Structure 1
Amino acid sequence: MVSGSRVIAWSEMESPIGPILLALTNKGLCRLDFIKGEQAYITMKLWAKEWIGPVRSERNDTALAPYVRQLQEYFEGKRRRFDISVDLYGTSFQKLVWQQLQAIPYGELRSYKDVATAMGAPKAVRAVGGANNKNPVSIIVPCHRVIGSNGSLVGYGGGLAIKEYLLDLEGAAPYRAQA
């Protein structure tokens, strides 16, 4: 694992949706970005400064290997659940939303309204959308499984093409609002 609380280990992996940058604290995966090249590293550093404070980052492919392996298994269709630790940074509300997202089973979809209602805050649909957008470890915390109440593929930090790919990979049936 990563030693010291002020160190972020990072690594990169290739995937069917393009390069992914992964970042890890001593508590778990804290960041997963679809941004390519140097911009991904800069984005990670700025995010860490905002949420964690001053940190030293170091490339550590060994520390990230279990995370990379599970993501590879997911992309190969061999993994439906991740059993890796995460270290989520966000507001209290964002963390509640991300916890709710983790309850959405593989291959199933929920609307933003469904998520808000499940949290006991049915009027917080827009706030749920905002928290979904700020998810720092997408795929692991499956924000791609949240769609518009009309069944549309709305909003995804990695882009709608990636969201559609992930849903197709999972065999997610088109969402239909329940009456």
Structure 2
Amino acid sequence: MNTVNIVLCGLGGQGILFMTKILAEYALKKGIPVLGAETHGMAQRGGSVVSHLRLGEARSSLVPAGKAGFLIALDPWEAYRGLSFLAEGALLCVNSPDGDFPNDAVKTYMTTHGVKCFTADAGKIAGRMGTPLSTNLALLGFFSSLPDISPFSHEGLGETIGLVSPDRFREVNLKVFEAGFEEGKRL
């Protein structure tokens, strides 16, 4: 298996590390080797958080610049900061509450590098489900609806969410994940 490189980014408190856990557990369940690392900006809620996942035969836990096949961003500004990780032809999935991501300069960059960009207002999706703090799961559900997300699948990610979610949150986590998936299918 070729190495699949994933970068997840957002702000402290948005659930980047929980998303990372879901993706890593999914891969491990499929027998795929996993390496991961995270970097934190400020050590408090609201600081920059970047998580690296490498699936397959990787030698280092950090995704090198220009090598990420996927960038999943819970914050548009963090997506801008993470663009340097994207490989040619990568997939970018961004929570864009205002619907104004990307700007014109980034559109040009993405076109030049064949990057496919998908955006959703994941906070709004989670809010409709009564859990506005579950933006991470809404965006992960949205991601699971996108084309070419191998080795991931919607069904497998849903099963993994069911396994890793605490009992009291399992049902709502799965509802938010499914709502994000349904939003993505409308594209």
TM-score normalised by structure 1 residue count: 0.29
Name the structure with the higher helix share.
2
Structure number with bigger Rg: 1
Name the structure with the higher strand share.
2
TM-score normalised by structure 2 residue count: 0.28
